[in-house]
Amino acid sequence: MLQLRRVTYTFDVPLALLLLLTLSLFSLFLVLPLSFLILRPLTGLSLEPFLDMLRYPYLSVPPIGEWYVISERGEYKLLRLLGMNFGVVLNTIFIASAVTVLSTVIGILVATVMARYDFPGKTLLRIASIMPLLYTPFVGAFVLYKIFGDGGLIGSLMLSLGLPVAVEFAGIAGVIVAQTIMFWPIVYLNTMASMLQIDPTLEEQAENMGSRGLSLYRTITLPLSLPGIAAGAGLVFIFSMEDLAAPLAFKVRDVMSVRIVENILASGNIEELGTEVVIVAGLLLLMALGWFFAVRHYVSLKQYAMLSRGGRWKPRVFKPGLLVSGLIYFVVFPLVLFSALPQIGVFLYAFSESWRGTLPEGFTFDHFVAVLSDDNVVRGLRNSVIYSLAALVVIVVIGSTSSYLVSRLNLRGISALDALVMSPLAIPGLSIAMGLLVLYGVLFKDTPLDPYVNPAFLLVIGYAIRKSPFTTRAVFAGLQQVHKALEEAAMNLGASRTRTLFTIVLPLIGLNLIAGSLISFVYSMSEVSTSITVGSLNREQAPLTYYIYDYLTSGYGGGAFIHLASAIVALMIIVQLAAIVLSNYVLKYRYAFLGI
């Protein structure tokens, strides 16, 4: 009774409508599709697809292949790291685990150096370590293949240094290396943010009690950084599972992401979609959720969304000793610079005439000209812009509404809403894409909304749901700076909730909304999971990222087409950079948003 009175008093009509709107959008376009994804295979009355999960290619025990091969090449030995094939499901888990462990180690190492030491070249390192977050759909992984893969630069480099062995990575080993390079900065940035937030007196107190050096680090610094580490590791695991680029570049077909995409691309209508890939997409979702709840113990989704501003105090910073200096210049520097290679490589490909040998040759703008006069690309670009703008309308509504509710409503269960609206960050995009495809493919079969006829609608929805958390978080950050009393003062003077929202709240968070929208828009433009699956179903309506994928993989893939794809991605990087710089300037964030 009392609770009811409280609810009716807190909820004026506008608030209730806002809540209803948010909940229905998320139910229709996230919760229902994902539930359907999980439940539909169960309604098939057939165990067969589930039993498939226990057979090749989904499961392959004992594994096939070799961990590594050494071959004599006259003057030198070639060490080729491969990794064995355990089948689609176990491969995915194995790769994600390995990438998570490696990324976490590297991320913590670099974060420690950056957060606690002051040394010449630190700024360079800081910039280089953020470079990998510039999103390079597909092409980045192909650059890494050029470096680490068959006959790659690493091997050549070792030989030219006079070493008797050359190393190259292929298959699963290559995927692990590439993904580690792509994803470790996520751990680094999150850990760094945590470390900068540690109250220096906590460490000083421990020091005061006789703890120092490694023991201080192990007993105080690391445990206090755990939320950041967990957030980073949590994301990396999920990103790795749904990544397509590295498996494609290193020609690994037996992972979940590739199976899902290949199957959708090959299907002409909803019946042709194999039940086993629906199961795979559901499994991907369950694995991500399971992992997410495991790390959630340490971290709330808030830290997933964007990195905090760093400490309010002056963090403790030291001059490195000899040992640490060695570590910095011989381990950390090369690692970090190496990780910026995909972005650098994209530009090398985009501006070079050819890159067959060790170094790229010839300088040209031809690829940009070619790309911008390619009908497919131009149409894809136009489609992407239209979808992203349409998605942005939805995103602005979702983002401002849900963040307002979460920050202002003092009701039980409101944190569940928070988790719901931020969850797209931790849910594999391919599962969302598959869920939307299956649900709306069945519901609207042979209507204008059938994704096999008009994928545009689902693309907009997919972009909106997946990229809304960036805006939500930016607005939320703004709302936290707007003291509640500012709204209360308005209501106290006779302004209704709606008038308060429009005259007080919106003007004060306007910049946050704009900055968040900018980021959401840019990431919509470079969205991959929905774009190449749902987007492939009608080429007339396919977005830009689909054509990048198409250039790299389809009949006309390889050869010169990587230059063309790179030219597109180079343009995307420039737009991303501009958006990030601009929104950081507006929001005064110390770090970039995490791109997904």
Measured between alpha carbons, how far is residue 333 from residues 55, 196, 327, 591 in Å?
Answer: 45, 21, 9, 20
Nearest distance from C-beta of residue 10 to other proteins, angstroms: 8
- Do residues 292 and 279 make contact, with C-beta atoms less than 8 angstroms apart? no
DSSP secondary structure letter of residue 329: I
Nearer to other proteins, 10 or 201 (CB): 10
Structure tokens at 58: 């989904």
Nearest distance from C-beta of residue 417 to other proteins, angstroms: 19
Nearest distance from C-beta of residue 484 to other proteins, angstroms: 9
Nearer to other proteins, 79 or 511 (CB): 511
Nearest distance from C-beta of residue 412 to other proteins, angstroms: 10
Measured between alpha carbons, how far is residue 444 from residues 269, 430, 467 in Å?
Answer: 12, 20, 24
Nearer to other proteins, 212 or 484 (CB): 484
Nearest distance from C-beta of residue 191 to other proteins, angstroms: 34
Nearer to other proteins, 6 or 588 (CB): 6
**Scanning the structure block, which residue is given the tokens 């080729």?**
80
DSSP secondary structure letter of residue 199: -
First to last CA, the chain: 45
Nearer to other proteins, 214 or 493 (CB): 493
Taking each helix axis from N to C end, the angle separating 153-160 and 139-148, rounded to the nearest 10 degrees, works out to 30
Binder among 5, 297, 312, 319 for other proteins (CB under 8 A): 5
Nearest distance from C-beta of residue 586 to other proteins, angstroms: 15
A 10 A CB-CB count for 11 gives 16
Nearer to other proteins, 28 or 482 (CB): 482
> Which one-letter amino acid corresponds to residue 216?
L
DSSP secondary structure letter of residue 245: H
Nearest distance from C-beta of residue 474 to other proteins, angstroms: 18
Spatial CA neighbour of 359 closest among 159, 144, 146, 132: 146
Nearest distance from C-beta of residue 500 to other proteins, angstroms: 8
Nearer to other proteins, 123 or 481 (CB): 481
Rounded to whole angstroms, the Cα distance separating 388 from 390 reads 5
Q: Which backbone phi and psi does 519 adopt, to 5 degrees?
A: -65, -45
Give the contact letters, 473-502, x = binds to other proteins (CB under 8 A), - = no: ----------x-xx-xxxxxxxxx--x---
Segment contacting other proteins (CB under 8 A): 1-9, 275-283, 427-435, 448-456? Answer: 1-9
Q: How far is CA 84 from the centre of its chain?
A: 26
Nearer to other proteins, 397 or 482 (CB): 482
Give the contact letters, 6-25, x = binds to other proteins (CB under 8 A), - = no: x--xx-x-------------
Measured between alpha carbons, how far is residue 592 from residues 33, 135, 305, 414 in Å?
Answer: 31, 12, 11, 27
Measured between alpha carbons, how far is residue 200 from residues 189, 190, 317, 493 in Å?
Answer: 19, 18, 10, 44
- Do residues 216 and 164 make contact, with C-beta atoms less than 8 angstroms apart? no
Give the contact letters, 500-519, x = binds to other proteins (CB under 8 A), - = no: ---xx--xx-----------
Nearest distance from C-beta of residue 321 to other proteins, angstroms: 46
Contact positions with other proteins (CB under 8 A) in 22-81 = none
CA angle at 176 for the pair 355 and 551, rounded to the nearest 5°: 40
- Do residues 167 and 158 make contact, with C-beta atoms less than 8 angstroms apart? yes
Nearest distance from C-beta of residue 566 to other proteins, angstroms: 45
Longest dimension (CA), the chain: 88
Nearer to other proteins, 378 or 491 (CB): 491
DSSP strand E in 344-489: where? 352-354, 361-363
Contact positions with other proteins (CB under 8 A) in 546-575 = none
Nearer to other proteins, 10 or 447 (CB): 10
Nearer to other proteins, 62 or 494 (CB): 494
Nearest distance from C-beta of residue 190 to other proteins, angstroms: 31
Give the contact letters, 113-142, x = binds to other proteins (CB under 8 A), - = no: ------------------------------
Total residues interacting with other proteins, rule: CB under 8 A: 23
Judged by phi (left if over 0) then psi (alpha if -120 to 50, else beta), residue 174 lies in alpha
Give the contact letters, 521-550, x = binds to other proteins (CB under 8 A), - = no: ------------------------------
> What is the binding site for other proteins (CB under 8 A)?
2, 5-6, 9-10, 12, 483, 485-486, 488-496, 499, 503-504, 507-508
